[in-house]
Amino acid sequence: MGTRRANASWRACQWLSPGWSSGRVDCNYELMVSAAVPLALLLDVDGPIASPVTRDVRPRIIKDLLRLAHAGVPVIFNTGRSDTFIREQVMAPMIAEGMPPGTLVHAICEKGAVWFSYTADSVGPLHVDGSLAVPKAYADDIRTLVAEGYAAHMFFDETKHAMVSVEQRLDVSNSDYKTEQARFDAQALELTARHGLSAFRVDPTIISTDIESVRLGKDLGASRAVELLAQQNIVPQAWRTVGDSRTDYAMADWLHHHDHEVKHVDVRPADGVPEKPYQILTAADLGLSAEVIHDDAGAAFLAKWLDTVVS
Ligand SMILES: [Mg+2]
């Protein structure tokens, strides 16, 4: 475990600050060996980690994520959210709570188009795959559409680099929003056709509508996660993916297809649990009732894994 963390630390300091060989993270070149870690977590954020109602992360989840990371479990977020959202809702509370020096966390944002990594001391460069970005002229038209017709129910997310996301306002009920969302989605789709954007799709979620390259998805995020760990010479023996939407299964689909051992946790199985060639877990597998969903279920699974790795 010590070797694994030291190795991850070496990579972290080399990557975040090339040439830096002293400071809080002790870089030890002799420890450059592949580390087979027993478990890695690939986590959707909205739903299992952040409450879909308040959109923030409860302290217990922050604490357990830190304990898992400290125990050597790679923690990787794979979200449709922007890097700004992750910095504010996840990274800042983790650092404020006391992130152990040398712990490196990866955040894959905007469904794989944007990613960055952080430690308690440094935030690595923000990577944006520009080839996957929505053209600016289209984004400008959507911004205008929202301002002129939908501002009472939704807002244009200015923090996105590659996607266009229009989200439900917090002061509006979800049922009112959904009625407006259906009208908005139809107009957004019409605009994609007008701009000739055949390689982009309009993807409604329960609290937003995303317009994005067809190449974006949780599967792209999963492939980036494997690459990011490979850069640290970390090879997880098993993965747990966690999500609240059907699209989140794409993480486990991709990992399974590429011969990684994976189980998927569905924290909102009311949509029905699909047939998959890997195991799917829900709160019921922890002996919890069907009402335990979203971040309640997410918190329960984090606590269970923590028990497993520290016992
Ligand atoms: Mg979600």
Short-list 201, 110, 187, CA closest to 154: 187
**Rounded distance from Cα 34 to ligand 1 centre (Å):** 32
Q: At what angle do helices 136-149 and 174-194 cross, to 10 degrees?
A: 140
pLDDT, residue 301, reads 98
156, 143 Cβ separation under 8 angstroms:
yes
**Arch. (CATH architecture) of 2-129+217-310:** 3-Layer(aba) Sandwich (3.40)
**Rounded distance from Cα 47 to ligand 1 centre (Å):** 5
**Rounded distance from Cα 229 to ligand 1 centre (Å):** 23
SS3 assignment, position 158 = coil
pLDDT, residue 33, reads 58
**Rounded distance from Cα 152 to ligand 1 centre (Å):** 24
169-189: pLDDT as tens digits: 999 999 999 999 999 999 999
175, 136 Cβ separation under 8 angstroms:
no
- Provide the CA 207 distance to its chain's centre, in angstroms: 16
**Rounded distance from Cα 120 to ligand 1 centre (Å):** 26
Distance CA 275, CA 48 (A): 21
118-167: pLDDT as tens digits: 999 999 999 999 999 999 999 999 999 999 999 999 999 999 999 999 99
pLDDT bin (cut points 50, 70, 90) of residue 52 is confident
Domain coordinates of the chain in residue numbers?
2-129+217-310, 131-213
Show the beta-strand stretches assigned E in 176-248: 200-204, 208-213, 234-236, 239-243
58 exposure class (CB count in 10 Å sphere: 0-12, 13-18, 19+): middle
**Rounded distance from Cα 13 to ligand 1 centre (Å):** 31
**Rounded distance from Cα 153 to ligand 1 centre (Å):** 20
213-245: pLDDT as tens digits: 999 999 999 999 999 999 999 999 999 999 999
